[in-house]
Amino acid sequence: MTAMAGTDQLAAGVFFIVGTGRSGTTLLQAMLTSHSRLDIPPETKFFQRHDPIEARFGGDPLPANRFDAWLADYFGSQDWADLGMEQDQVEPMMRGSERSAAELFLAILRAWQSRSGKPRIGEKSPLHCKCVGRIRNVFPEAKFIHIYRDPRDVVASMRRMEWADGSPRDQARNWRKILDAHLRLSTELPTTAYTGVRFETLVAQPEAELRRLCAFLGESFEPEMLNFHERGQSGFHEREAGWKSGTRQPLNDASIGRYRQQLSPRQVALIERLAGPTMVKLGYQPVSGWRAHHPVWMAMDAAAHAARKTRRNLGGL
């Protein structure tokens, strides 16, 4: 970490919303950005895709002879385009830095802060949940909010997304892996640095949960956060409106338990078989009973997975 990152107020106040896809990260972003002091840009995916420490970039800080290549890669990415900012707002700050991950990331947040006018900027890229250790090395004072959701509803929602990768089997395993890591981090990290929020609880008790999260961030609760659907900035690029525009509507519980209508009993059983122990730890009870271990279903699931893997290895043919 550079001295700049250690003394910079922006760095001292940075926080991250993380979780699996379709878990409510955009909803939580909308609620927090409705606070008069908080803002969160569209997903930067910085530590997920653009971290200088990656071997292809050369290390942290970036070597001088690799810096132009990194800049070209970053400013040519969809992640940069989604922010909707001008390159000349950010590049001079990056070129004037020591080329460290901290300073490059802060240049992005600083430009967003100049645009928003709010004193504290956070970040929301769901899969930064896999980068918590790295982010803490760069920003030791960072705070993390991990929002999680019933895996059956996550998979049901994923199945409607054009961009979603993997089968229900893959998605259930990914959910379990990410939430197992969340449970571990919940015990390893200080409660002042890391907290979880259950999507279903946030929907059912929004004020109580937002008061708790504001206290975690060291901010006062503001009633305007409950009117998040009336916010000015959406917090996402217009091309994402098809799956994020629900946060422009008042809060409702219509998406909770939707898997009952959208997944087959076999799919529900598959998810519960793969994610069951972690589900139970987080308060989600299986409903499939004996079917979760039905040998015929298990054989069919294994055959479908093998066929999909073969198609993928053959280039999708």
Q: pLDDT tens per residue, the chain (317 residues)?
A: 343 443 489 999 999 999 998 999 999 999 999 999 999 999 999 999 999 999 999 999 999 999 999 999 999 999 999 999 999 999 999 999 999 999 999 999 999 999 999 999 999 999 999 999 999 999 999 999 999 999 999 999 988 766 667 788 999 999 999 999 999 999 999 999 999 999 999 999 999 999 999 999 999 999 999 999 888 776 665 655 564 567 778 899 999 999 999 999 989 999 999 999 999 999 999 998 745 556 665 666 666 666 656 665 666 54
Of 167, 188, 208, the closest CA to residue 308 belongs to: 167
Number of domains in the chain: 1
What CATH number has the domain bearing residue 139? 3.40.50.300
Confidence (pTM)? 0.88
Look up the domain containing 232 and give its range.
3-313
